[in-house]
């Protein structure tokens, strides 16, 4: 059995796509899988046990990168082709069976992971998977034993401003958590990509050094996942980190702005989603078809703090998913 799996580019989308691949491989555990993926997402498949090879999409004008892939795969034949990016690549690759992600599903008002899972009906539970080298996990575990607990991982960055809670709010949240009995000895670990560091320099500078571990721009995706696996709690935005935390099974608080949390919320039974109240459309400058009239800065520090201290999220206290509308 040979499978071609064409995934996404953004880390969060790639993580969600693993729920589908994991379900397929449960039925075909001996299959060999070639993966096509964009950007840094390749790292998430590098240690897939059934991996054949990884092809990284290098985008070119007029979609010519698909011509590159066509040439690369001209002599291949697949039993199953799963394409989550386009409906047409199946016409260029030899295969017996194809599965694509149709627009009728993409527009459906349902969790993205459930949409993807519906492409491969099964009684098996949908479960995301991140495959990392065991040595990476061992190194992070060793480092984690030397820091104070609880370990609170903070993901204060996002890929655009509409998703990003103000730095001053994260600063205030950390200060107030440090005053609470459950978190007074906490270590606050900051994670983010190298290019995002400049956006949160003020926050990095203000978190007390005795309580912080600054790893912004200093970890690989696999290392970030390992730290999230070791964490007691994660708090951050609708971002790749929040989906990695979900895959790791870590209790989380995810802050949403204009993006639709009903579709894009991290897939986890220990995730707590916080959304701002709706505004009227005349108060925001966002495309109606793509976003919701919500502003992430309308989420108050008090609201997020309450998620920690009102038994909704506590260190090592796993709860079912909840959704809170900030008031």
Q: Averaged in consecutive runs of 10 residues, what is the pLDDT profile of the chain (327 residues)?
A: 96 97 96 94 96 88 76 93 90 94 77 94 93 96 94 94 95 95 93 93 91 95 97 96 97 96 94 95 92 97 90 50 53
Instruction: Choose the final residue of a domain: 117, 147, 177.
Output: 117
Instruction: Choose the final residue of a domain: 53, 85, 117.
Output: 117
* CB within 8 Å of 223: residues ≥ 6 apart: 136, 140
**Which of 220, 201, 219, 211 is CA-nearest to residue 157?**
201
Task: Report pLDDT for 316.
Answer: 54
Task: Report pLDDT for 312.
Answer: 52
Residues 206 and 280 in one domain: yes
Measure Cα distances from 62 to 67, 74, 96, 205 in Å: 10, 20, 28, 43
| CB-CB contact of 252 with 272 (8 Å) | yes
Residues 311 and 279 in one domain: yes
H or E element that contains 256: none
Task: Report pLDDT for 57.
Answer: 85
- Partnered with residue 6 across adjacent β-strands are 36, 83
* Token digits of residue 177: 């958590």
What is the β-pairing status of strands 252-255 and 32-38?
unpaired
Task: Report pLDDT for 313.
Answer: 61
Instruction: Choose the final residue of a domain: 49, 84, 117.
Output: 117
Q: What is the mean pLDDT of the chain?
A: 91
Residues 153 and 289 in one domain: yes
Is 324 part of a structural domain of the chain?
Answer: no
Output the pTM of the full model.
0.93
Task: Count other Cβ atoms within 10 Å, centred on residue 109.
Answer: 8
Task: Report pLDDT for 277.
Answer: 96
| CB-CB contact of 204 with 198 (8 Å) | no
Residues 148 and 292 in one domain: yes
Task: Report pLDDT for 186.
Answer: 94
Q: What is the CATH number of the domain that holds 237?
A: 3.40.50.2000
> Based on the structure, what is the number of domains in the chain?
2
Is 284 part of a structural domain of the chain?
Answer: yes
Residues 94 and 237 in one domain: no
Tokens 């609170």 locate to 152
Residues 58 and 172 in one domain: no
- Complete edge-to-edge strand list for the sheet that includes strand 77-83: 51-57, 32-38, 2-6, 77-83, 94-100
Task: Report pLDDT for 102.
Answer: 85
Q: Which residues form the domain of 178?
A: 139-315
Q: Tell me the three state secondary structure of residue 91.
A: helix
**Upstream peptide bond of 150 is cis (omega within 30 degrees of 0):** yes
Enter the DSSP assignment of 154. E
- Partnered with residue 236 across adjacent β-strands are 155, 254
Residues 90 and 202 in one domain: no
Task: Report pLDDT for 115.
Answer: 94
* CB within 8 Å of 144: residues ≥ 6 apart: 151, 227, 230
Give the span between the Cα atoms of 237 and 171, in whole angstroms.
Answer: 15
* Total residues found in the chain within this entry: 327
């Amino acid at each position: 059995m040979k499978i071609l799996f064409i995934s996404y580019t953004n880390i969060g989308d790639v993580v969600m796509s693993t729920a589908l691949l994991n379900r397929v491989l449960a039925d075909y555990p001996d299959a060999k899988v070639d993966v096509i993926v964009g950007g840094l997402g390749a790292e998430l498949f590098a240690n897939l046990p059934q991996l054949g090879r990884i092809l990284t999409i290098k985008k070119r004008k007029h979609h010519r990168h698909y011509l590159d892939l066509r040439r690369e795969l001209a002599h291949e034949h697949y039993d199953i082709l799963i394409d989550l990016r386009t409906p047409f690549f199946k016409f260029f690759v030899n295969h017996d069976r194809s599965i694509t992600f149709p627009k009728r599903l993409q527009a459906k008002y349902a969790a993205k992971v459930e949409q993807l899972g519906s492409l491969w009906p099964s009684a098996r539970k949908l479960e995301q998977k991140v495959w990392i080298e065991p040595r990476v996990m061992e190194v992070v575990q060793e480092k984690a034993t030397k820091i104070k607990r609880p370990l609170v991982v903070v993901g204060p960055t996002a890929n655009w401003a509409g998703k990003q809670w103000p730095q001053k709010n994260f600063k205030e949240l950390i200060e107030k958590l440090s005053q609470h009995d459950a978190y007074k000895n906490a270590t606050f670990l900051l994670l983010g990509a190298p290019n995002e560091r400049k956006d949160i320099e003020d926050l990095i500078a203000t978190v007390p050094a005795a309580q912080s571990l600054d790893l912004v721009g200093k970890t690989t995706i696999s290392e970030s996942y390992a730290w999230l696996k070791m964490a007691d709690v994660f708090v951050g935005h609708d971002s790749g980190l929040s989906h990695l935390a979900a895959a790791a099974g870590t209790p989380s608080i995810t802050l949403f702005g204009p993006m639709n949390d009903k579709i894009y919320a991290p897939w986890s039974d220990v995730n707590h989603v916080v959304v701002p109240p709706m505004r009227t459309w005349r108060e925001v400058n966002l495309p109606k078809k793509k976003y919701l009239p919500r502003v992430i800065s309308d989420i108050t520090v008090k609201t997020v703090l309450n998620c920690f201290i009102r038994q909704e999220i506590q260190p090592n206290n796993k709860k079912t998913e909840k959704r809170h509308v900030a008031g």
